[in-house]
Chain A
Amino acid sequence: MRVAITGNDAAALAMKQINPDVVAAYPITPQTQIVQTFSQYVHNGEVDTVFVTVESEHSAMSAVVGAAASGARTMTATSANGLALMWEILYIAASLRLPIVMTVVNRALSAPINIHCDHSDSMGARDSGWIQIYSESAQETYDNLIQAVRIAEEARFPVMVCQDGFITSHSVEVLDVLEDKEVREFIGEYKPAYSILDVDNPITVGPLDLFDYYFEHKAQQIVDMPKAKDVVLKIGEEFGKKFGRKYGLFEAYMTDDAEVVVVVMNSAAGTTKAVIDELRSKGEKVGLLKPRLFRPFPAAEIAEILKGKKVAVLDRAMSFGAQAGPLSIEIQSALYLAGATASDTPVSSFIYGLGGRDITTDNIKHAIDVAKEGRHGHFEMLNVRE
């Protein structure tokens, strides 16, 4: 079935079809439409979900931890400052290995307060132990959320599915949606390994760990998290076989013979594809690599695509004081580990679009021009006044 809806409504529709046991969420621009649309589903009796209308994002994440520990399939949604307020509990959710699925509508962090898109919110949470999946479009947001349920439950890590605030969250897009039955069958029934509602088999969740055990528990996270990559691949493939839209760890667009490859996530990848099509028509060998999975980071797989090419990494967030944005740092580290050098794989880094600033096709062409010159270590902000 094809419908014309916004990215937010696509997320809410996915939630409706997933029909989680518990949702706890709080409104924040630009995610608000998701909780509004979902509330309507709840009040119309279109879902069986117990919807906990919490008084803050901190309590949203706290309540889904309580619900997930009780063996319930749980979801939540947020943006920007809301995600920042959850920060403490993000780590707890991940460390308790609870399969919570959260849809994040990317928005700039304050200050100054700004409601528009950048990736500072989810990039700030990249070390929290959550699997992070990024979506170029409403279609990808929808598909990723449905897959995220399976990924979270099989990998036993929480998953955040990100899309760009306003750019895709508020744009109407025509997308292919699945039948309720198809979603239900794809995600299957959740069978939790443990539940605090199992009163006959009492467990203690969230104990105090000191220097004698904490490190071993962290070691389990460190060892297990990269394995989630295989789960993401397997489920992306199965989704493709069943519904015709296959998903991997990233999308490589015309990279095979490319001399210059642009690396960028979420909606700006769409703009970049238009640039690549245009330049290809003029005979220029350019391509795009759009990471889908950012945590765990598919370092070796990405390096295999990029090695030997000239690379322009476009970041929509900055790690203040670092050498480049977080995506570029990951890419450079991946390349170095794969044995790439400054001379065979020069990497130029760009920051774009903070606080919703447009990125134009000319900006992307400029980044490609810089990369073509092989200016390794080049750092630049695009479309910003001096």
Chain B
Amino acid sequence: MTTIRDLSKAKEGLASGHRLCAGCTAGTIVRQVLLTALNKYHVVVGAATGCLEVATTIYPDTAWTVPFIHNAFENAAATISGAEAAYRALKEKGKVDKEIRFIAFGGDGGTYDIGLQSLSGALERGHRFLYVCYNNDAYMNTGIQRSGATPRWAATTTSPAGKKIPGKPQMRKDLTSIVAAHDIPYVAQVALGYPNQLIKAVEKALEADGPSFINVYMPCTTGWKFDPSLGIEISRLAVETCVWPMYEVDNGEWRLLYKPREKKPVEEWLKLQGRFSHIFKREDKDELLRQIQEDVDRKWHQLLKRCGEE
């Protein structure tokens, strides 16, 4: 397996100088994905409209050292599928001779919500591409609005902490399982702060002769309201509390990638983030916390069963 030391010598796909927020972890994820990919392959990148795209391609500058295409918000998968189709056509005709891999990046808004149809279509058609969702639980680029990935009772600007409704009443949708239901060769759910897991997942994904998908949990300092130095810690706590379990579905086989020695209470993760701070000031705090813990426990047990761990 490729190690972090190997990656320190690999070619950078995303140069420094981009304009992501201080403490933003999207750049860290993209860098690790591209270092891994460029260690073995040539890469063409596509991206949905979102923080990553706007912060890295402000004309006349670009942070991308690899070919990059941004089309619109909801169509990163369809766009990269067209590029991959062109690659097959032109390779067959001898007009392209390099071994190229195609990687699309989208945030949770562009992936869970508006881009889900485009993603589903491209997965079903079997294009050979990797889709990486950098999931930060809300529409951060437009100023922290709720998405299908926002967890229950998180405050966003369209699910504010009101007197009557304390944040987002619904739990997040389980996109990784939805993608796995497409029966594609490789699916993984990993989190920032576990570079080895991410590297391994990217390597497997790019080896797969077909579509692959990695859902990476990405704490957002601006939207989750935590100190910019705490991104990695909060990501790790999401894994330790089983809010964001890490697993893969490799050719249909569900496998847990990490099992916390001791599953921590979700409260430990919640209290570090401003987006949940309203919960702790409320009279019905215990009930809200119980609901959040119940969501986590139910999904965790469902996952353990799928992975044959219980």
Contact = CB atoms under 8 A, between A and B. Distances in A.
B83 interface: yes
A21 B89 contact: yes
Contact of B82 (A48, A49, A53, A67): A67
B90 interface: yes
Interface residues of A, number: 42
Contacts of A196: 44, 67-69, 83
Interface in A197-219: 197-199, 202-210, 213
A249 interface: no
Interface string A16-45: 000001101000000000000000000000
B115 to A, nearest CB: 10
Contacts of A49: 89
28 contacts: A21-B89, A22-B85, A56-B117, A58-B78, A62-B75, A63-B79, A63-B81, A66-B71, A66-B80, A66-B81, A66-B86, A67-B85, A71-B95, A72-B89, A74-B82, A196-B44, A197-B67, A197-B87, A197-B98, A199-B66, A199-B100, A203-B68, A204-B62, A204-B67, A204-B68, A205-B67, A205-B70, A209-B59
Contacts of B118: 55-56, 58-59, 62
Nearest to B88: A50
A260 interface: no
Nearest to A64: B82
| Closest 4 pairs (CB-CB, A-B) | A66-B82, A55-B121, A63-B82, A70-B86
A371 interface: no
Interface string A60-90: 0011111111111010000000000000110
B58 interface: yes
A71 B78 contact: no
B104 to A, nearest CB: 10
Contact of B78 (A21, A63, A202, A203): A63
A59 B67 contact: no
Contacts of B72: 62, 88-89, 92
Contacts of A72: 85-86, 89-90
A56 B90 CA distance: 24
Interface string B39-52: 00011101000000
Interface string B12-49: 00000000000000000000000000000011101000
Interface string B241-270: 000000000000000000000000000000
Contacts of B42: 199
A342 interface: no
B98 A199 contact: yes
A52 interface: yes
Interface residues of B, number: 48
Most buried by A among B69, B71, B120: B71
Contacts of A329: none
Contacts of A305: none
B260 to A, nearest CB: 38
B96 interface: yes
A233 interface: no
Interface string A224-246: 00000000000000000000000
A54 interface: yes
Given A58-B75, A66-B80, A207 B90 contact: no
B89 A22 contact: yes
B159 to A, nearest CB: 26
Nearest to B62: A204
B54 interface: yes
A71 B86 CA distance: 7
Interface string B84-107: 111111101101101010000000
B108 interface: no
B157 interface: no
Contact of A70 (B66, B90, B122): B90
